[in-house]
Structure 1
């Protein structure tokens, strides 16, 4: 039995990724009818229905999801074996879909993605930023970066790095309020985040203080750091979100105490299938970058009582 043509497989992969025959046709410079015809031929070839209509989109069936994984891997292997000539510009770039929590996506991850693009210009990254736990299979997501305790149903997960919390503020704010030891916080405005209460850090610093009930309250970690950067007070910051600002000297850590956060950052991918070769390249790169990171300052990680 003859194999499907490469054009048919490309049409299927594009329609699966874009969830639309029309968008696939536009990307491949074909007509909608040509894409539809190629997919009908493929369905007849494999003997199963590959797509079903859902509103204005075309969603893969379970059989279609299984075939998509195999087709994407096959196309990726062929693209690696036959790279375009130097100087040639390929219209159809290789493509991976990454999802990430907003806090890390807008800080640590964002500032490092350009390094991956420089090393792998042939791979396009689609970054979807959300707190929601997506359906990776249904939405065609290759990899995800989550904040939590791990162990999500339907996902493999491997830890990227633990998170720790330590007070951060601008250098001017530290100097103005003479913040030298933890008890000096009585002179400071404590910026609050309901997801990272101060009491755990107080316990680690041997301060018998209650949770603050006054002061600005911001439930977004990057925005909390912006308030500290603006000199509005001192924040209990997640160190991996603040690391670039600390290294640049725009934020400082006045004390040598941090508490380990109960959550960590995890790299995730769907169970039942290995990541595509390009997704695996990104995963390997990301894990190497995470492993090479040093804490932003020589801090002592103190385990706070729950």
Structure 2
């Protein structure tokens, strides 16, 4: 049977291409060319006698059989990696790896500064933190935990709500030479910075009949929005968990006492196959405790 196995190069190229559903991204990951990935996948399809991708122009979509095969390969590669890790110095005595994916703003501003505490409590766990704004397929990409900000609808996943968040306007103390808006109505004359989070719910809470701002730059990453506000470019509608460092340091000033709850919450999401790993259980327990303490301190529920 082993003599009939496809080559490792073919399997590795296909698994990466199926995981990304993109030959160029697979090539970047494996430090190969797009053509090399395409060649290895074609050779594997000929070897197996079945197409693994549906091709339409430059786009590719993995077939149903291809997806099933990719999942088999992903588990096999994980087993190989775990076996190799167990042989490395310091790995054979219970060392475990935990892969966590979190949205960039949360990863950089809340999670990363606290991870040292978790590692101190669990020195045998190696944490690989990935900051990504994309909704990855956690199972396909072998990610143990995803910290997500949304409505909690993650079919097939084990999901725990962590906490909510609030929005309020903030600006640099140097904005317009320090002449900050003194009342919500004065925002009508201010430069309002835009992100994917709409201003309208806050306008309504403040009793303002203003239209949703338009034009200018639309910031998809809240860290960039906050940076622009710190630079004095305008007034930003910020999410507290993301902006609290700048508020505490005085780089940003919260305007008014009006806040609106976010319609989205933070969630701890894990694939069923990873949820029972000891390192995932330990991280879940730590995250729930950290978030509960943080939410209680800020009265966020």
Give your verdict on TM over 0.5. yes
1:182 & 1:202 partners in 2: Cα distance? Answer: 8
Task: Indicate yes or no: 2:244 matched with 1:247.
Answer: no
Unaligned runs of 5+ in 2: 1-11, 17-61
Decide whether the 8 Å contact of 2:274 with 2:280 is kept in 1: no
Task: Indicate yes or no: 2:72 matched with 1:61.
Answer: yes
Q: Deviations over 1:175-231 (max 9, x none)?
A: 7123222112234211111x1111111111000111122444322211001111111
Call closer, same or farther: CA 1:255–1:179 in 2, change over 3 Å: same
Q: Is 135-144 or 217-226 further displaced after alignment?
A: 135-144
Call closer, same or farther: CA 1:187–1:179 in 2, change over 3 Å: same
TM-score, scaled relative to structure 1: 0.65
Decide whether the 8 Å contact of 2:104 with 2:132 is kept in 1: yes
Q: What is the count of residue pairs matched by the alignment?
A: 235
Call closer, same or farther: CA 1:288–1:172 in 2, change over 3 Å: same
Decide whether the 8 Å contact of 1:102 with 1:130 is kept in 2: yes
Task: Tell me the equivalent position of 1:136.
Answer: 138
List aligned pairs for 1:16-55, cutoff 5 A: none
1:189 & 1:165 partners in 2: Cα distance? Answer: 17
Task: Indicate yes or no: 2:281 matched with 1:280.
Answer: yes
Q: Deviations over 1:70-102 (max 9, x none)?
A: xx8xxxxxx9xxxxxxxxx71564211111122
2:299 & 2:161 partners in 1: Cα distance? Answer: 22
TM-score, scaled relative to structure 2: 0.66
Call closer, same or farther: CA 1:128–1:192 in 2, change over 3 Å: same
Call closer, same or farther: CA 1:270–1:115 in 2, change over 3 Å: same
2:97 & 2:194 partners in 1: Cα distance? Answer: 40
Q: CA RMSD in A?
A: 3.8
Decide whether the 8 Å contact of 2:163 with 2:265 is kept in 1: yes
Q: Secondary structure at the match of 2:253?
A: coil
List aligned pairs for 1:122-133, cutoff 5 A: 122-133=124-135
Q: Deviations over 1:19-69 (max 9, x none)?
A: 89xxxxxxxxxxxxxxxxxxxxxxxxxxxxxxxxx99xx95529x849x79
Q: Secondary structure at the match of 1:138?
A: coil
Unaligned runs of 5+ in 1: 1-15, 21-53, 73-78, 80-88, 302-306
List aligned pairs for 1:96-245, cutoff 5 A: 96-173=98-175, 176-193=178-195, 195-245=196-246
